[in-house]
Amino acid sequence: MKFAVKTLVASCALALTMGLAHAQDLAPLNSDTEKDRIDWSQLQSKFGDVPAAAQGTQIGGVSKTLTNEYWRTLGEGYQNYAKAHGVVVTYQAAQSEGDQLGQLSITENLLSQGFKALLLSPQTDSNLQPVVENAESNGVPVINVNDAVIPSAKHYVGNVQRDNGVKVAEWFLKNRPQGGKVAVIEGQAGVYAAGQRTKGFSETISKDGKFKVVASVPGNWDRQLAYDTAATILQQNPDLVGFYANNDGMALGVIEAVKAAGAKDKVVVFGTDGITDAYASIKAGDLTGTVDSFPELTGEVAMETALRLLGKQALPRVVATPQALITKDNVDTFSTKGDALRQVLLKQANQ
């Protein structure tokens, strides 16, 4: 196993170096700040109808894990859009969000089977880099879909990760003007999304000097670890006023720790992703909020992007997808699905 891990690290480092050199004037991707971008809602008006896919077109999708509802829902978006356009999708994932080798092996296998495009949601910014280089050299488009960012990726579909944290911080500034101590439960170290979400929250909430981030600790996307970490933070900071967790699974663990500490009435908890259990918790009055990035729609937009690329349309490097802060005030508005939710989000985009 040690040899395998060393091989993965070495191959990722080599591929990253080769990829950046091969990209020439294509700068390492920062999906939040890349200027060559378009909003998802403008694809139709700017590029017209989606080109018809050749009969029998197969597209492969690989996500972090199917144990997290977010990634299952993203896959549903792939399937829904593909079915409507006569495309076959194979969607697979690693056993856990820490199984980098497993995810790499799955992706290599899909590439070897001759899929026409790959939709990849890597576990880290580098673990799928070797496949990206191989795919590009064989003329297979690769779309990096949330939330780790492959530096040499030519195409990315996803939301502005920093804004997830910013939106939560802005809620605190507006609704807790007296300030106080807050804590962050981060995602996996070294993952772009986790870093950006944490940075967006911490930098924004610290602007007026009334709030202090007393702890910012990795929870590795794990609910139990988040519970244990939050319990410790609450013991050390009995006057804490709130938590921000980088995903909803961790946030749900945090709210259980808050309730166990008898602090539910004074400590608010926010998550990220907008999974079903987060919505239910908000409606029940437990979780204060989540930043929904609408994975089903994101999957649909990613599949649309793949079909447009296969149709030789010259799309911007980043296709930005929507996100919204969900609290008790608007949870019913965003509880719809399918076309109804799409219309809500289109209205939001045009405001």
CATH of residue 28's domain is 3.40.50.2300
- Classify residue 119: in a domain, yes or no: yes
pLDDT at 41: 97
Cis amide linkage into residue 147, ω under 30° from 0: yes
| Same domain as 131, residue 62 | yes
Both 265 and 218 in one domain: the answer is yes
* 21 in the same domain as 126: yes
**Residues 12 and 145 placed together within one structural domain of the fold:** yes
pLDDT of residue 25: 66
Verify that 139 and 186 share a domain, yes or no: no
Given this model, what pLDDT does residue 26 score? 84
pTM tops 0.75: yes
Of the candidates 128, 169, 132, the residue with the CA atom closest to the CA atom of residue 148: 128
- In DSSP terms, 58 is beta-bridged to 88
Q: Please give the full DSSP string across 158-217, using - where no structure is assigned.
A: E--HHHHHHHHHHHHHHH-TT-EEEEEEE-STT-HHHHHHHHHHHHHHTTTSSEEEEEEE
340 found inside a domain: no
For residue 22, the model assigns a pLDDT of: 43
How far is the C-alpha of 304 from the C-alpha of 314, rounded, in Å?
13
- Per the document, the length of the chain is 351
Measured distance CA(155)–CA(329) in Å, rounded: 35
Owner of token pair 């144990």: 67
How many domains, the chain? 2
Render each residue's pLDDT in the chain as its tens digit; 351 residues: 443 444 444 444 444 444 443 444 689 999 999 999 999 999 999 999 999 999 999 999 999 999 999 999 999 999 999 999 999 999 999 999 889 999 999 999 999 999 999 999 999 999 999 999 899 899 999 999 998 999 999 999 999 999 999 999 999 999 999 999 999 999 999 899 999 999 999 999 999 999 999 999 999 999 999 999 999 999 999 999 999 999 999 999 999 999 999 999 999 999 999 999 999 999 999 999 999 999 999 999 999 999 999 999 999 999 999 999 999 999 999 999 999 999 999 999 988
Residue 75 lies in a domain: yes
Query: What pLDDT shows up at residue 7?
Result: 44
Q: Does residue 166 sit in the same domain as residue 146?
A: no
303 domain-assigned: no
Of the candidates 192, 139, 190, 138, the one whose C-alpha atom is nearest the C-alpha of residue 165 is 192
User: Which of 240, 270, 292 is the last residue before a domain boundary?
Assistant: 292
Does 8 lie in the same domain as 130?
yes
Q: Are 223 and 143 part of one and the same domain? A: no
Co-location of 133 and 197 in the same domain: no
Which structural domain range is residue 25 located in? 2-155
Residues 129 and 187 in one domain: no
User: Are 59 and 117 contacting, i.e. CB atoms less than 8 angstroms apart?
Assistant: yes
Residue 299 falls inside a structural domain: no
- In angstroms, the CA 184 to CA 251 distance is 10
Is residue 177 domain-resident?
yes
In a domain, 47, yes or no: yes
